[in-house]
Structure 1
Amino acid sequence: MQNIKGKVVAITGASSGMGKAIALELTKNGAKVVLGARRAKQLQQIVEEIKSKGGEATFTQIDVKNKADLVRLVNTAVEQYGKLDVIVNNAGISQLSRIDELDIDGWEEMIDINLKGVLYGMAAAIPVFKQQQQQQQQQQQSGHIVNIISTSGIKIVPMQGVYAGTKNAIRTIAEAFRQESDGSIRITGISPGFVKTDFANNIKNEEMKTAIQKGMEQMAIDPIAIANAVIYAISQPEDVEVGDIVIRPSKQN
């Protein structure tokens, strides 16, 4: 965990659930966090909680659908703490339905947040990582992208087609980036299964919402498990890259 201390980490979707857990656990280990989400009040409360325990944190209100907001998140990290070591692209949304139900609004929302939102996060962070690398005048890695993906897409099931498609798009993009970056910027994908969060609250399809909530009640794991996976990935020595972590309840099929 010594490699965590002093790292500056920007986190999207940080106002609750996995994003909040990641922020709290990172600051316990000495990281400085910059939180981004749409709900400023919740972000403020998390920052106050972290500071009350002696940690360092700040926040900025963002919507990952706006690429300028991601630039602002990254710039906040650099302005406040002088650098950016890690971006955690955690914001995500799920609208579950049959494809022939044609929930086009739901598709577009998932594409905008789960796919374009992650790309905007990467696009905001990569120039900063490259600039830091040039300033250090070394070929060592400078920067780490962590994408929170999903076990959806690893196992394809009905009702999750477009959702899984957005998640698998990120897997594909990340693997291409891993090869292109030649180790200079590390990239990790973490795929959670059922986790205790308010994730199901946004699902419009009542039948699917009930099914997901039932699954969560029966087997969901604590979001701290995902935070621990993030810590594991970013605490590795500079010459070690953790590619993909799948973390699910032991009884999830």
Structure 2
Amino acid sequence: MNHIENKVVIITGASSGIGEATAYKLAEAGAKLVLGARREEKLKAIADSINGKGGAAVYRVTDVVNPSDSKALVQLALDSFGKVDAIFLNAGLMPNSPFAALETDNWNAMVDVNIKGVLNGIAAVLPTFIAQKSGHVLATSSVAGLKAYPGAGVYCGTKWAVKAIMESLRMESAQAGTNIRTATIYPAAVQSELVDHITDSATSGSYRKLYDTYEIPAERVASVVAFALNQPDDTNISEFTIGPTTQPW
């Protein structure tokens, strides 16, 4: 049974990688998409492609660091489609480096996007989900949210935070009887633009080699998102770890 058809799903970080692949996957299943990211040209191209094939997609330039942007994205969903069923908090940064490199600007950027961006999305959608006593919050963490890696301490910290935030949200929602489900996804080497933003040269080289060796298409994660969204209302699958069969992550 298709539980995705006609669901209104918001996706952040929707202009590339996992977010883009998920938009296409859910559109094929009949979902109505609300896409947010910082690059308007890419968002427009994705929305145009979905709409051109008979789907339904709208977009808004969104910086998840700004709470007002997340609120506006939720409002766009309500204005365009009359409801919100799910939000996929997928925007993220991974400019890794050793602590000794003191790339403090990158530390702060990761905290702002990877943690505060998730919290801003939750804050924006929660009043609607609580009022309707249903909703699904999905978020992209990382295998770095399950274990620690040298050279990735801050990134790991932000992704561990996502794990804790999402699990607490699930438990609180169950206790309150608001029926809000959560799904946290922990990808290993999956095709994305994450590696492109690593400025530390030694770290960049090692990650590029890792991803070139192992990475699997972003569509693999999109399929997991679709699987989570396709569960009946009484069933919550809260965590998914996904990566290449050949990668010893």
| 2:239 corresponds to which of 235, 238, 244 | 244
| 1:188 corresponds to which of 183, 188, 194 | 183
Aligned partners of 1:249, 1:202: CA distance in 2, in Å? 22
Measured on the aligned residues, the alpha-carbon RMSD in Å equals 1.0
Aligned partners of 1:153, 1:128: CA distance in 2, in Å? 28
Aligned partners of 1:83, 1:197: CA distance in 2, in Å? 30
- Give the aligned partner of residue 54 of structure 2: 54
| 1:209 corresponds to which of 204, 208, 214 | 204
Aligned partners of 2:107, 2:166: CA distance in 1, in Å? 21
Task: State the TM-score, normalized to the length of structure 2.
Answer: 0.96
Please list, as runs of the form range in 1=range in 2, the aligned pairs for 1:14-93 lying within 5 A after superposition.
14-93=14-93
Shift of 1:155: 2.6
Secondary structure of the 1:152 match is helix
Shift of 1:153: 2.9
| 1:197 corresponds to which of 167, 170, 192 | 192
Shift of 1:98: 1.3
Aligned partners of 1:156, 1:170: CA distance in 2, in Å? 14
- Give the aligned partner of residue 110 of structure 2: 110
C-alpha offsets along residues 217-247 of structure 1, whole Å, 9 cap, x if unaligned?
1110110010000000011011100110000
Count of aligned pairs: 245
C-alpha offsets along residues 110-165 of structure 1, whole Å, 9 cap, x if unaligned?
000000000000110111111223xxxxxxxx100000110113231100111000
Secondary structure of the 2:228 match is helix
Amino acid at match of 1:149: S
- Give the aligned partner of residue 171 of structure 1: 163
Where do 5+ consecutive residues of structure 1 fail to align? 134-141
Shift of 1:100: 2.6
Task: State the TM-score, normalized to the length of structure 1.
Answer: 0.95
Amino acid at match of 1:115: I
Aligned partners of 1:240, 1:3: CA distance in 2, in Å? 12
- Give the aligned partner of residue 137 of structure 1: none
Q: Which moved more, 1:221-230 or 1:179-188?
A: 179-188
Aligned partners of 1:41, 1:164: CA distance in 2, in Å? 31
Contact 2:65 2:116 in 1 (8 A): yes
Amino acid at match of 1:59: Y
Where do 5+ consecutive residues of structure 2 fail to align? none
Aligned partners of 1:3, 1:29: CA distance in 2, in Å? 9
| 1:154 corresponds to which of 146, 151, 156 | 146
Please list, as runs of the form range in 1=range in 2, the aligned pairs for 1:116-131 lying within 5 A after superposition.
116-131=116-131
